[in-house]
Every structure is written in C-alpha cells, then in structure tokens.
Chains A and B, each alone.
Chain A
Amino acid sequence: MTILSLFTLVACSKEVLERFGGFLQPANFPAPVYRFRDNKISQAGFELGRKLFYEPRFSRNNTVSCGSCHIQSAAFTQHGHEVSHGIDDRLGRRNSPPIMNLAWMNTFMWDGGVFDLDLQPIVPITAHEEMDETIENALAKLRTLPAYAAMYKKAFGDTAINTTRTMKALSQFMLLCISSNSKYDSVQRNQGPRFSDAEQRGYIFFQANCTACHREPLITDYSFRNNGIATGINNDQGRYEVTLNETDRYKFKVPSLRNLSHTAPYMHDGRFITLDAVLDHYRSGIRQTPNLDPLLANGIAMTDAQKADLLQFLNTLNDPTFLRDSKLSEQ
C-alpha cells in the first residue's frame, strides 16, 4: 500500500510544474505579523487573489486594476510616477508603495491609516483619484462572470462572492509577494555569494548610519518619522492626519529599501528621481521642520567614496527573481 502510494505521488508530482508552497518564512526573516489563522492560504485562494489583483472591473470604468499602479517589474510600484496615476488620468497625492513582504507589516499606507491588510484594498478601490468604484458595485460586476463563481467556489467552498472573501483572497496573493532572494539575503543565509569589497564597506557604513530606521533584514522598522525633507507643496501632514497627534505631523512610514533600483522616484511624494539625490539629501539637505527625527538632526556625514560604496551595497538589495516570478504575474 505504502509503496503504491509513493509511486502515485512520484507520478503526480511530475505533472505539477511547480508545487504550491503556501506561505514560507524565509530563513533570515523574523516571524510574520499577519493573522494567518483568520485566513488560511490555499492555492485556490492565492490564484483567485491574483486574478482579482489584475482585475480592472474594480475601477468605475473597468480601466484600472491594482496591478496598474503596482507593477511587478517595478517591484509592484508605479515606476516613473511621483504620485499614483489613477482613473481618468487623475493624480493621487502620494507615491505608490511596493506590494512586498506585507506579512511583516502591521500598518499600511504612508501614514499607517489602515491597520489590517484585509481592509487595505478598500482604499484604492473607493478613492476618487484611484479606482473610484464601490466594493458593492465591483462585486456585482464579478458576479456576472461564471469564471469567478468557479474560482470562489474552489477557494471558499461555494460560489458566493462577498466582501470578506474578496479581501481575504487579495490578501492571500499579496502575502505571497515575498522578496527575499536578493544578493543581500544570499549573503545573510551563507548561500555562497559574497559581498564585493565595495559592497562590504557600504554595508558597514549602512549598519552604522542607516539601520536605526532601515532595520535589517526587512530594511525598515515600519515606524513613522520625519526624515527632514521639506514640507511638500501639497502640505501633506502624513501620520498626523490619522492620529491628530502633534508629534506625528510630517511623519511618514519608513519604507523598505529592497528593490530600490526599480522603485524610483523616492519619498512619499516621489520628489527625488535618483538615489544619488536621496543620499545627497541625507548628506546635506536636511530641513529643520517640526518633529524632525533626532537621528537626522545633523544629517549623515558621508564622503564621496562612502556614498559610492553605500550605493554598491544598496544595489545588493535588488531581487531580480521577485521581479520576474511568473507566479505573481498576470496569467
């Protein structure tokens, strides 16, 4: 019996191109914070979530999907746009953040106004300048399509299409958008690759000057800080808008630096086009505005050589396999 079953397994696995592994915690990552007990990841749920992520019917006129402003080749950002570019060419006021390693994130958006990944998609779907649709109406559109009925049934047991299932499926897809295969990760996991001399010098500089906020290994501590960029022209007050706490004015979430070569422009409003400009900001551009982070009161002293080394190190945070992972692409 056992032998027979084994044979069957072997025979079957050859037909499956790639086994669905579900959520796998990378060896060098901490435990995730997402409540997986409320949303069991399944292949059917993930595949439904992926279809929904690329579904333009979530926008009022069926033109904009989640994937429109979160493009995989740009680490799920909208590369080249300072602020998100939504329906009817309307512009948002902030830069599209990457969909990446969200299982480790406990607040969402630049101001942390959303505290549960399952509630996050409601924001872009209903925002006037993004998708300008209601969830109610979007779901009504999906209910007319037999393909979705079948996928919801496979994922959740019956064909009902509702808010909870839709949000849970989207979460399942987004939770598996894990970037953990950069050169930096391989070095951390002792998998063979080594930092070059310049990268190693850059890494030492990074650890001495940057990791207080860009904490390893996720390269962010998910805190909210004012990093000394002057108040934007739209006077975006960041975290203050959701807490109304004076000490939060002009603070924004510390972004991860993973895949940073693909996510330009930088900052919450995309004001810096190049990494060079970003590093120059920390070196000499810090502005004294309310709640400036004390760590940046005097900027970060950096010679040209140190800056060059740092850039070399930062490039090891790029993860080409993530950007090309066909499982995460529109099918």
Chain B
Amino acid sequence: MNLIHYSIIALITSASIVSCSKDRTTKNNDGQLTDMSVEFDNIVGGQNLFLDAVSYTNAAGEQFTVSRLQYFISNIKLRKTDGTEFAVNPDSSYFLIKENDPATRFARFKAPAGDYNQLSFVIGVDSLRNTMDISKRTGVLDPSAGMEDGMYWGWNSGYIFFKMEGTSPAAPVDPTGQRKFRFHIGGFGGYSAPTLNNVKTVTIDLSASGNALARSGRNSNIHLMVDILKALNGSNNISIAANPSVMFGEASVTVANNYVNMFYHDHTEN
C-alpha cells in the first residue's frame, strides 16, 4: 500500500520536475510550494552582537556582555498583497534561533509562490503545542537538552521561549562568584490552573522595505534585525541590578512586553 502510494508520488513528482523545471534540485514537490526563509540577525542597538567579546550599555546605564542568546520562533504566517493568508504547516513551524549556532539564524519553510507584504510569527511556543503528547515534541521541541542550553522547564511543564544570559558589573555576585544575569522567559498560560501567559505574536509589514516575492525555484529571504537591547529597554526599562535573574515571575511579563518590539524588517532578498 505504502509502496504503491510513494511510487505514485514519485511518478507525479518526476513528471512535474521534467515539465516545469530543468533544475532537478528544486524542492517543489507539488509544483506550487517554493522555498522561503526568515533570517533573524541579532544586533544590540546599532551594533552587531558578539557573544562574550563586546560590552553593551542598556537604558539604565548598565554595561553588560551576552554569553547566550536563543529564542523560539513558531507559527509563521504570511499575507499576500491580495489579502489571502498562508500559514506554514504547524508540524514544521517551530524554530530555535541560537546566536552561537549560525545555521539556526534562518527559519526555512515552504510557501506558495506569490507576493507577500506581511509576516507574522509567535515568539515562543503556543499553548497548544505546550500541552501536546510527548510524541509531538520532536526536533527543537524535544525536551531532552540540558539545563544550560535547554529550552524546557521540567518542574513547571512548559517551554522557555527566550533565554538571554551574560555578565554585568551591575549584577550581584552569585553563588559561583560571577556577576551573571539570566533571563529565562516562558509561561504559556497554564494547563491545570491559569497562570501568566508570555506567548507573543509579532506582525511585521514588509511593504516599506521590500515585499517577499516567492517564485518557483528561488528562495525569498526576509531579513529581520533583532535588536536584543529592546528586551531591556522599552516602556519599562529593565535594570540588571534590580533583576539579575528573571525567570518564572512577574518581571518576565515586562521583559516579554519589551522584546515583542525587538524585530524590524531590514530588507528582503528575493
């Protein structure tokens, strides 16, 4: 049964490759979907982000370096200029962007060819996926990573959406003798009892800096800048001295309300 099924798909696929394109490397499996990506280019204000090496200053006047930065992007949606919307298949729409792993700076997916003028996504992992059976938690959602680079809270079941760690002279000395700050932001609203919800959706207009023109056989890349200084600076500035460790608590709401504004569209590579 399966063999027959796959053979038919293979036949159709090879037929469409022959008829539609001479490029045999094309990944269009039904002649309609094309490759697209969103690039997350992490910066700090007007500077590039360099882990550990460079010291930056927040609005509270505190100097800091960043040793770890990683966050989940999920539920990518695009809107065409004609107003129709496309949502990336939920089972392939979870991306963990890690500054220390350049391969992760692109969220790659497939979308129908067309002209897109709006992008939206979730920072973090939606509540539904947070409560799904463990068999649905594969790839970046596999809760098997360690405490250091893992993005999952075991003790209070749920994903960490955003993790930024570093050192600052403003931070108090911790038990290990370092002046570290740690922001681990999560909270999907609770399952057995309601609690804080830091699931944030970002919507970005692309028309000013270049619509995404998705075409068969090409990869349209929407290049975003991610200014992590905005996680600290916003309507409520975060002081590292006052909040060296922001995890599951009220301060996380402030950080999440700040970081929802850290993304802006720089350009699109069509």
Q: What is the interface of chain A, defined by CB distance below 8 A to chain B?
A: 35, 38, 106-107, 109, 112-116, 118-119, 122-123, 126-128, 134-137, 139, 162-164, 167-168, 239, 241-245, 248
Contact = CB atoms under 8 A, between A and B. Distances in A.
B249 A244 contact: yes
Nearest to B147: A126
B155 A114 contact: yes
A128 B176 CA distance: 14
Contacts of B142: 162-163
Nearest to A239: B193
A134 B193 contact: no
- The majority secondary structure among interface residues of chain B is loop
A141 B242 CA distance: 42
Contact of B145 (A127, A136, A243): A136
Contact of B144 (A35, A116, A127, A134): A134
Nearest to B138: A164
Given A164-B135, A167-B134, A168-B134, A119 B154 contact: yes
Interface in B67-102: none
Interface of B: 131, 133-135, 137-138, 142-147, 150, 152, 154-157, 190-196, 248-250
Contacts of B135: 38, 164, 168
Contacts of B248: 241-242, 244
Contacts of B191: 115
B194 to A, nearest CB: 8
Contact of A242 (B131, B145, B195): B195
Contacts of A109: 155
Given A112-B193, A134-B150, A241-B248, 19 more contacts: A38-B133, A114-B155, A119-B134, A119-B143, A122-B152, A122-B154, A123-B154, A126-B150, A127-B155, A134-B144, A134-B145, A163-B142, A163-B144, A168-B134, A242-B156, A242-B193, A244-B249, A244-B250, A245-B194
Nearest to B190: A243
Contacts of A162: 142
Contact of A244 (B134, B138, B154, B196): B196
Nearest to B145: A136
Contacts of B190: 243
Contacts of B154: 114, 119, 122-123, 126-127
A203 B150 CA distance: 49
Nearest to B142: A163
Contact of A245 (B131, B150, B193): B193
A128 B134 contact: no
A122 B143 contact: yes
A136 B146 contact: yes
A18 to B, nearest CB: 30
A243 B194 CA distance: 7
Contacts of A123: 154-155
B156 A241 contact: yes
A85 to B, nearest CB: 18
B149 to A, nearest CB: 9
A245 to B, nearest CB: 7
Contacts of B137: 163-164
Which of B144, B190, B248 is most buried by chain A, counting CB atoms within 10 A of its CB? B144
Contact of A137 (B133, B138, B146, B152): B146
B234 to A, nearest CB: 22
A114 B146 contact: no
Contacts of A35: 133
Contacts of B147: 126, 128, 134
Contacts of A114: 154-157
A118 B146 contact: no
Given A106-B192, A134-B145, A113 B155 contact: yes
B97 to A, nearest CB: 20
A118 B192 contact: no
9 contacts: A116-B133, A119-B157, A134-B145, A134-B146, A135-B143, A241-B156, A242-B195, A243-B190, A244-B248
Contacts of B145: 134-136
A35 B136 CA distance: 14
A241 B247 CA distance: 11
